[in-house]
Amino acid sequence: MVRTKSKDTLPDVELRLSTAQESARRSQGAASEVYKRLRRAIVEGEIRPNEPLIEADLAQALQVSRTPIRESLQRLAADQLITPRKRGWAVREYSLEEIRERSEVRAALEGYAARLAATRATDAEIAAIVAIQDERDRTADLTPAYRVEANRRFHDAIIAAARNTRLADDIFRVGQFYFNKHIAKLTTDEERRLNQQDHREIINAIQARDGRRAEDAMRSHIMQTFTVFQRISGN
């Protein structure tokens, strides 16, 4: 009997992968495609937390055998996106406490990246960062999706300027769960204003080549983002 849940309509949208993850895998083949799809489905919330992942069902839905499914589940577990059950795997649920921990890790890593960027960025890279933020401020179309994208580009530009691919990969790993469009929809005007102000402070510090100030600004920006989470989940 064929089981059809929502799984057989998984979207096949392209996923951004960190460079190391991309290069650490054969980037083509059935297993890789399965991995991208499952990852997308989990990150987007299509597969609910604690929902068990049945190998045979996924194989059926994605029209491959269980072997590439199993390989993908291994990768997802390494990404901490799924967690082992006595039997099989389930989508991982993140407690507020865990999000706090991850926020601290991100503050440590991305703060350090901002510090490095302040000393290592070329003038062109700084100009690019400023341009991204300027465009964000100029844009009228502030849909959640656009805000997520603009935010991501801002952070990515700083991380790139830090010139440390391992650091960039680890930031991607820990940060991949945050600020998606679902969250973006729930922010208040005041929070957005604070957010933009934070970005400007980071930019100012980098322009001044002040590593310590850039690091502090990035850290408090990230921990500020956590308080938004806290508000949203705490209501």
Partner DNA sequence: GCATGCAAGTTCGCATGCAAAGTACGGACA
Partner DNA sequence: TGTCCGTACTTTGCATGCGAACTTGCATGC
Site string for its own copies, 163-182 (x = CB under 8 A): -xxxx--x---x--------
CA distances 102 to 2, 29, 95, 172, Å, are 39, 32, 11, 12
Site residues (vs DNA, CB under 7 A): 26, 29-32, 52-56, 64-68, 70-71, 85-89
Query: Closest Cα to residue 196, out of 224, 232, 226, 158?
Result: 224
Site string for its own copies, 147-166 (x = CB under 8 A): -----------------xxx
Residue 53 lies near its own copies (rule: CB under 8 A): no
The one of DNA, its own copies, none whose footprint includes residue 29, by CB under 5 to 8 A per kind, is DNA
Residue with tokens 């083949």: 29
For 32, residues 6+ apart whose C-beta sits below 8 A from its C-beta are 25, 26
For 118, residues 6+ apart whose C-beta sits below 8 A from its C-beta are 205, 206, 208, 209, 210, 211, 213, 214, 215
The one of its own copies, DNA, none whose footprint includes residue 12, by CB under 5 to 8 A per kind, is none
Closest to its own copies by CB, 105 vs 130, is 105
Closest to its own copies by CB, 24 vs 127, is 24
CA distances 90 to 54, 62, 85, 176, Å, are 9, 18, 7, 18
| Residue ranges that bind its own copies, judged by CB under 8 A | 20, 23-26, 70-71, 74-75, 77-80, 83-84, 98, 101-102, 104-105, 107-109, 111-113, 116, 164-167, 170, 174
